[in-house]
Amino acid sequence: MKITYFGHSAFLVQSENFNALVDPFLTGNSHTSVTLKDLKDITHIFITHGHSDHIGDAEAIAKKCNSLIICNFEISNYLSRKNLRTHAMHIGGRRKFDFGIVKMTPALHGSGIPTDDGMVEGGLPGGFIIEIDGKKLYHAGDTGLSMEMKLLERENIDVALLPIGGNFTMDIRDAVLGVDFIKPRIVIPMHYKTFDVIDADPEEFKKQVKEVEVNILSPGETFEF
């Protein structure tokens, strides 16, 4: 599995015949210069929750690439009305797809979808475990620290993508405890520095995590595992 970071919580996840985006926030994301026209053949788009910095450019990308959007039932309902291809899942649900196995995990957060006509109900926020060829990637979405993370230890996560920015999600102090709960092989921090209120230092996070390898990705950087 190969992942490329676009800043914030946006990642490209690739494997054979699998070219997926998670939380594709590109327009308005000052940490990436990647735009819609740079993206092609996106097979799948995962959306953790309804906030605009996570749904991001999903609609435009899915329209362009005919991608399958995997998200919770409520966001799936909202997007399918726009004639997009969606697959609805929900918290705790696991499903085998042709590319691998996906499990939706809980998150402590909100999931309203901001629109021009006000906030639309976006169900519950979540995260995803994406398993391909025995390798497991966990994208936590936006979440506070939760005891549910203790259960993830049993999933044997290879790479965990965890928010560290604080204010809307776990800060460094809580994310360090989250790593101890999840016990992944490698942790990659996300959701920091993109906005003034989430100005956390990933080097400080790295210093505080003791037993797990921390890999700080710069926007545009790729990591294979």
Binding residues for Ni ion (CB under 5 A)? 51, 142
Which residues of the shown chain bind Mn ion in the complex (CB under 5 A)?
Answer: 53, 142
Q: Do the strands 44-46 and 18-22 form a parallel or antiparallel pair, or are they unpaired?
A: parallel
How far out from the chain centre does Cα 129 lie?
A: 9
- Residue 23 binds which one of Ni ion, Mn ion, none, with CB within 5 to 8 A depending on kind? none
- Residue 131 binds which one of Ni ion, Mn ion, none, with CB within 5 to 8 A depending on kind? none
Whether 105 and 126 have beta carbons less than 8 Å apart is answered as yes
DSSP conformation class of 155 = G
Give just the sign of the alpha carbon dihedral 199, 203, 204, 209: positive
**Closer by beta carbon to Ni ion, 31 or else 51:** 51
- Residue 183 binds which one of Mn ion, Ni ion, none, with CB within 5 to 8 A depending on kind? none
**Closer by beta carbon to Mn ion, 53 or else 171:** 53
**Closer by beta carbon to Ni ion, 44 or else 51:** 51
Cβ at position 151, least distance to Mn ion in Å: 23
Tokens representing residue 51 in the block: 């906030």
Whether 149 and 182 have beta carbons less than 8 Å apart is answered as yes
- Residue 171 binds which one of Mn ion, Ni ion, none, with CB within 5 to 8 A depending on kind? none
